[in-house]
Amino acid sequence: MTYQPNAAFAGLFRAFTSDPASIGNQLTQQMNERDADAPLLVSTGSDIVLFPGAGRAPLIESFRKSTRGFIELTAVSHLPLALAYLARMRELAAPATRDAADSSWRQAAAQLAVHAAHVRAANSVELWRDDITVHSLAGQETKLTALVDYTCAVSIEMLERAQREPDLMTFDALRDRYFAPLDEHALPVPMNDVMFATFGLAFLDIVYRIGNWLREQSLDWSRTMVLVSGRSGRPTAGATWASNNMCHLIWRASGRALPPERLFIAPHAPSFSVAELPDAAGLAALEQTYRTLWQNTRASIDVARELFPDHEGYRFEPTAAESMPRFAAPDDRHAMSARLRRIMEDPAQLLSNCVADLIIDQLHDNGNRPADVTIPGFTHVRYPEIPEVSPH
């Protein structure tokens, strides 16, 4: 016989917490009514929305896939990493057929080379300046074009050579010839630099635009409720302040006026995207869901402080980066590589965390001037021109 809780005990359980008319839900509703006009800021994995309160229409800003330059820069940052994944595919293949003509890594490498060639053909100063038009990178179009061309050319050459010499598709060979080459003359800019630089360039625009947008709202941060909601990046990442860079971004944009205790991270809460926005009624319902979630979480904090006034309280102090390796100099390659390893190896980290604290703090310290931000692997690096070569 299936177990069922005793009805009397179950009734007591529901009276406090799970029933819609429970004491906990009634308190949450009271708090919602009290703070109905308080601003609510919700950040998801791709968008940020301000619900001003008192029934006013929400304001929304996107910062990932639907924004200018994000896909382009991220695609280039992923190209070197794709070669590492190919090496792992080859490593895991059965030795007898590992390098067969129809092996999966060979086919994927050939397709990747074609994609990189298409990008190289499409890449131009005019594309970055007139079509993509990333405002935070204005004036950098020539250098951006050189970075993309260099990355594609070097990657295509490595992919084509590996088809002829499959032993090049090993981690030892890739490290020594591609990611961190021993001969600087053979490869003047390592691909580790490229990956770090492109992460930084993409994140620079996010911080610049979202920071400007938040400041334009002139929020009363002492009353603003902040929720980082839903999945950010990979499913295991971004569940703490230190591992979710949106927390540090919002806090710095507030001029450190946002009390950290008013920001909650809710990775399992509902999310939304600009591409799939509900209608006005749906947005109103979503706002109510977020307000209820925030107030329900806050209720236990307020009750704890009233209930245990004579005991030491919990105090949260924000940190920008959770044990991220520090830079000894702007182009510290050891720090760049160590950070890249950290964000890939630690499932709790967002991939952008390798650059987040550097970019956020520089922008807010220099008055939000993106041209004055030093991006390791880009600002002090010259990407050489590589002439087009005919296919082998």
Same domain, 355 and 233: yes
Same domain, 223 and 331: yes
Asked which of 189, 204, 224 is the last residue of a domain, the reply is 189
The residue segments making up the domain with residue 360 are 38-67+196-269+319-376
Same domain, 54 and 93: no
Please report, as a single letter, which amino acid is at residue 249.
L
Cβ within 8 Å of residue 363, ≥6 positions away: 204, 207, 208, 211, 369, 370, 373
Report the alpha-carbon angle 10-13-14, nearest 5: 90
Measured from the Cβ of residue 160, the count of other Cβ atoms closer than 10 Å reads 16
pLDDT for the residue 391: 46
Please report, as a single letter, which amino acid is at residue 138.
A
Indicate yes or no: pTM above 0.85: yes
d(CA 195, CA 200): 9
Residue 49 forms part of a structural domain: yes
Same domain, 340 and 352: yes
Residue 18 forms part of a structural domain: no
Cβ within 8 Å of residue 262, ≥6 positions away: 221, 224, 225, 226
Residue 285 forms part of a structural domain: no
Same domain, 115 and 235: no
pLDDT tens-digit map of 343-357: 999 999 999 999 999
Which of 343, 328, 275 shows the shortest CA–CA distance to 77?
A: 343
Same domain, 84 and 167: yes
Asked which of 139, 166, 189 is the last residue of a domain, the reply is 189
pLDDT tens-digit map of 305-321: 999 999 999 988 887 56
Please report, as a single letter, which amino acid is at residue 133.
T
d(CA 143, CA 73): 13
- Which residues is 376 bridged to in the sheet? none
Residue 328 forms part of a structural domain: yes
Q: In the chain, where does DSSP find H-type helix?
A: 7-13, 23-34, 70-92, 104-122, 125-126, 141-164, 171-174, 191-216, 245-253, 280-307, 333-345, 353-365
pLDDT averaged over consecutive 10-residue blocks of the chain (392 residues)? 94 94 97 98 93 95 82 97 99 97 98 99 98 96 98 98 98 97 89 98 95 96 96 89 94 96 93 77 92 98 97 85 85 96 96 95 95 97 80 44
d(CA 99, CA 90): 8
pLDDT for the residue 325: 93
d(CA 249, CA 232): 14
Secondary structure class of 162 (helix, strand, coil): helix
Residue 344 forms part of a structural domain: yes
Query: How many domains is the chain built from?
Result: 2
Cβ within 8 Å of residue 185, ≥6 positions away: none
d(CA 351, CA 345): 10
Residue 287 forms part of a structural domain: no
pLDDT for the residue 81: 98
pLDDT for the residue 273: 73
Asked which of 189, 212, 236 is the last residue of a domain, the reply is 189
Same domain, 343 and 234: yes
d(CA 219, CA 390): 57
Same domain, 57 and 206: yes
Secondary structure class of 6 (helix, strand, coil): coil
Same domain, 227 and 137: no
Same domain, 94 and 111: yes
d(CA 308, CA 189): 58
pLDDT for the residue 60: 92
